Structure 1
């Protein structure tokens, strides 16, 4: 929530960097993933409002799946934009720098439209848990279960998810490799100009290193989650222990990401230091 307010303030009141717009959306997505992924917060709200379980399950699973898709799309976009930002003026990517914000608006619209439509199958194949032995449902939470679907439909959905994920992860790994090459080249050039002991990482370099760390962590966590989900869907079985592991993996990335962002952004560190100083001035 702190990051969401911070990036919103930056976007509305200052000159935001292209990555600020993406980070703001990524923060919102992760908040929604935490609210829906644990089947806790929204479930309590629905119970207070006395909303029936079937609608509750469809809503939670749909939002969770949309946010999961948006997470990988937004992380990929963040990697691409940073690669364009640090690219040398002589590279082919340099010509996209001037219109990054314009391209990002179209990317946001495309990502949201695609994931809202692609994840709509959750509305039809998720429902309130009743009796597994009678309806052949697969129980995944205390109140919700996946409804059986045709093998062809299940295969098409799985192939669509695999195709999307392989493409986006491939783009992330390609742009990450490109950024590593740029950083190594820059490091070698700096060695001829300065002593390494006196070098300080530039904001661009710190931002690039942060994004590389997030991408690597995301790829590992995402594919572990994807393997668990795909295996459970194919075998039509969810072991309680496997479900706990999957929930931990799902929450690892949205939990670690804001901590990495806070510790790597000098603007946030300066803001927190100023708040700390004012607190001491007022109360001590």
Structure 2
């Protein structure tokens, strides 16, 4: 387990550094310009991923609470609440990013074209509803999370080394499960639908370009690169999400705590927020230009 813990700690440090670097690049890029709606979504998603990696890795939160002499019960509730809110925000904003890009690249003759001129307003409103829903809905669950005790109770399931989950009544459990599953399935469905739509547009665009230019002289436009990046992120997110969902559902159904399963789940939950900034940095031409400029400054040609 010590090796696995070291791997998780390395993943946490690497994920935080990668996301902080991405956030720094977005700040530099937009200092002299207004934030574009796409960058606003990406910045929020990057911040959320920083918190997700920190809380999921459990590298700093335990030491922080212990240094402040917080009770174990408060630590469990805070960690659980933050992690669930960030998880919900991650899937919502990833879906919003996919929808935004689909509208952006849609042809002027499509039904989505009429939303282009109001994208900024719609995005701002979406931020308000997304944050409000996730902050309020997740608050219901914290009443059932408590600090773990050695007292054996049939209605208490140990979910981490220090925390446990009390069983809920049928109505509450059904309500939370129904809303969560509906939200996640709906958002994943929207992401897959918009992804398929973007693939069709890219395919049509590429086919048209072949008639106008030779393939050897074709260069990917910024919109095409951004679309390909988002498609890659959506596919990766969907895969990681369903793996995490299966692991979580298995633990709840069996009503059993397994340290190995919990460790695997933490690793899978942190995989997406760790890989995302690397994909965005490597595919954003603006960031690549900044890196080239920094490299030129540090290594001037003599």
**What TM-score comes out, normalization by structure 2 length?**
0.90
SS at match of 2:108: coil
- Could you report, residue by residue, the CA deviation over 1:146-175 in whole angstroms, capped at 9, with x for unpaired residues? 122223322221111110011101110110
Are the aligned partners of 1:7 and 1:21 in contact in 2 as well (CA < 8 Å)?
no
- Could you report, residue by residue, the CA deviation over 1:198-250 in whole angstroms, capped at 9, with x for unpaired residues? 11111100100000000000001011111211222232112222111111110
Moved over 4 A (4+): none
Gaps of 5+ in 1: none
1:213–1:159 distance in 2 versus 1, CA, 3 Å: same
- State whether structure 2 residue 298 is matched by structure 1 residue 244: no
* Shift of residue 35, structure 1, vs aligned partner: 1.1
- State whether structure 2 residue 90 is matched by structure 1 residue 71: yes
* Shift of residue 277, structure 1, vs aligned partner: 1.6
Are the aligned partners of 1:129 and 1:139 in contact in 2 as well (CA < 8 Å)?
yes
Comparing 223-232 and 195-204, the one that deviates more: 223-232
SS at match of 1:134: coil
* Shift of residue 34, structure 1, vs aligned partner: 0.6
User: Residue in 2 aligned with 1:20?
Assistant: 39
CA distance in 1, matches of 2:115, 2:60: 41
* Shift of residue 48, structure 1, vs aligned partner: 1.3
- State whether structure 2 residue 210 is matched by structure 1 residue 186: no
User: Residue in 1 aligned with 2:193?
Assistant: 174
- State whether structure 2 residue 50 is matched by structure 1 residue 39: no
* Shift of residue 135, structure 1, vs aligned partner: 6.2
User: Residue in 1 aligned with 2:105?
Assistant: 86
Are the aligned partners of 2:92 and 2:187 in contact in 1 as well (CA < 8 Å)?
yes
User: Residue in 2 aligned with 1:100?
Assistant: 119
Q: Which has the higher contact order (CA 8 A, sep 6+)?
A: 2
The alignment of Structure 1 onto Structure 2 pairs a total of residues equal to: 283
Q: Choose the corresponding residue for 2:252, options 224, 233, 252.
A: 233
* Shift of residue 125, structure 1, vs aligned partner: 1.0
CA distance in 2, matches of 1:262, 1:53: 38
User: Residue in 2 aligned with 1:145?
Assistant: 164
**What TM-score comes out, normalization by structure 1 length?**
0.95
User: Residue in 2 aligned with 1:257?
Assistant: 276
RMSD over aligned Cα atoms: 1.6
